[in-house]
């Protein structure tokens, strides 16, 4: 699709010729530095750095935010506790309003290290406000996850403390219909187990990732596909199936999810993204197009903050205006 391009990080600024506002997320991962460092040489009018200061924050969250800020002449670190999704929404709205007041109509978002929840909240708020001529998401895929571990040792998070509806995606669940939970899974079986136990679906569809963002992930993906094949048999009272989805091709994943839903449109659908941020965008775009779909976030007990990932040299550029929910450009000119 013309709205998605993959390129080396040193090629990005050649594609970004306008003036932009920029939003990124400072996490414990070194990967959160990659895109902000690269685009700091582009025409960035103002950069906003989202930073978690809640209990799940680490020293690296703050240090990485300060390192990013040092690259920009006009920059603001926007702090919040990611456990408070209402405050998260309010802070993102404040950023959107400031960009609107300054008549900044082109927006860059580094989605690499957003949580799934914060990314989807932002997507909903941007969709509702319709203030920008262009919204471009940039994603630095990891070259490795759970750095240094063998496939059977790979972990990104442990446990599942709770599951909550994501603000802006409440869905329209009918008590008389069956609940069909669709999970885009990754390397986090404990997290999937917890959310299934909490949601107690009638039907469970587990998406197994294919087409990785880096070939280094293939051995780990195969290990977890085999593990999920055995795991799904533990839920005897739930109708369970599996399907394969693309970790990197947004359009393919959108089509796949829509096809699953269209087969039984009367059911209640609950989507749970637990894979790449590119596939999370696909979930958000499907839910924006179909307001009856609910999207949930599985909250982990802890993250692998010491070895979560390593950055790659590749960046995927996604123009949201190429996708139907964001084709309002002509309306705001």
Say if residue 276 is in the same domain as residue 316: no
Instruction: Specify the number of domains making up the chain.
Output: 2
User: Residue 331: pLDDT above 70?
Assistant: no
Say if residue 172 is in the same domain as residue 264: yes
Q: How far apart are CA 209 and CA 187, in angstroms?
A: 10
User: Residue 285: pLDDT above 90?
Assistant: yes
> Averaged over 83-88, what is the pLDDT?
95
> Residue 67 has what pLDDT?
96
Residue 89's domain comprises 4-141+312-332
> Averaged over 308-325, what is the pLDDT?
92
> Residue 215 has what pLDDT?
76
56 token code pair: 């799940």
Does residue 146 belong to any structural domain of this protein?
A: no
Does residue 87 belong to any structural domain of this protein?
A: yes
Does residue 89 belong to any structural domain of this protein?
A: yes
Say if residue 264 is in the same domain as residue 321: no
Say if residue 244 is in the same domain as residue 209: yes
> Residue 332 has what pLDDT?
43
pTM for this model (two decimals): 0.93
The pLDDT tens digits of the residues spanning 143-181 come to: 888 888 888 888 788 888 899 999 999 999 999 999 999
> Residue 330 has what pLDDT?
47
% of the chain beyond a pLDDT of 70? 98
> Residue 329 has what pLDDT?
55
Say if residue 234 is in the same domain as residue 163: yes
Q: How far apart are CA 122 and CA 89, in angstroms?
A: 7
> Residue 147 has what pLDDT?
84
- Of 212-216, 251-255, 310-314, which one has max mean pLDDT? 251-255
Say if residue 136 is in the same domain as residue 190: no
Does residue 97 belong to any structural domain of this protein?
A: yes
**CATH number, residue 161:** 3.40.50
Say if residue 120 is in the same domain as residue 240: no
User: Residue 134: pLDDT above 80?
Assistant: yes
Kindly report the average pLDDT of the chain as a whole number: 90
> Residue 111 has what pLDDT?
98
């Amino acid at each position: 699709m013309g709205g998605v391009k993959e390129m080396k990080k040193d090629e990005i600024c050649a594609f970004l010729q306008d003036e932009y506002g920029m939003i990124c997320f400072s996490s414990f991962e070194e990967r959160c530095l990659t895109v902000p460092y690269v685009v700091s040489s582009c025409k960035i009018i103002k950069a906003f750095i989202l930073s978690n200061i809640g209990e799940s924050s680490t020293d690296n969250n703050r240090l990485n935010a300060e390192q990013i800020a040092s690259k920009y002449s006009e920059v603001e670190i926007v702090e919040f506790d990611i456990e408070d999704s209402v405050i998260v929404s309010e802070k993102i709205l404040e950023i959107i309003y400031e960009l609107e007041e300054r008549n900044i109509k082109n927006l860059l978002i580094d989605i690499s290290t957003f949580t799934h929840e914060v990314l989807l909240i932002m997507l909903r708020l941007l969709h509702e406000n319709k203030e920008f001529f262009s919204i471009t998401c940039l994603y630095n895929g990891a070259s490795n996850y759970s750095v240094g571990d063998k496939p059977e040792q790979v972990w990104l998070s442990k446990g599942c403390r709770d599951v909550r509806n994501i603000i802006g995606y409440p869905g329209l669940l009918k008590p008389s219909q069956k609940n069909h939970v669709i999970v885009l899974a990754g390397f986090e079986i404990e997290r999937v187990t917890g959310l299934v136990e909490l949601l107690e679906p009638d039907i469970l569809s587990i998406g197994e990732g294919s087409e990785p963002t880096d070939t280094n992930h293939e051995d780990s993906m195969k290990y977890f596909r085999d593990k999920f094949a055995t795991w799904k048999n533990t839920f005897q009272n739930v109708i369970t199936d599996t399907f394969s989805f693309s970790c990197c091709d947004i359009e393919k994943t959108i089509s796949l999810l829509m096809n699953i839903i269209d087969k039984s449109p009367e059911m209640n659908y609950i989507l749970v993204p637990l894979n790449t941020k590119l596939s999370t965008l696909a979930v958000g775009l499907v839910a924006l197009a179909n307001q009856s779909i609910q999207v949930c976030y599985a909250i982990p007990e802890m993250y692998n903050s010491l070895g979560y990932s390593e950055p790659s040299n590749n960046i995927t550029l996604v123009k949201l205006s190429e996708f139907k929910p964001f084709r309002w450009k002509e309306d705001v000119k």
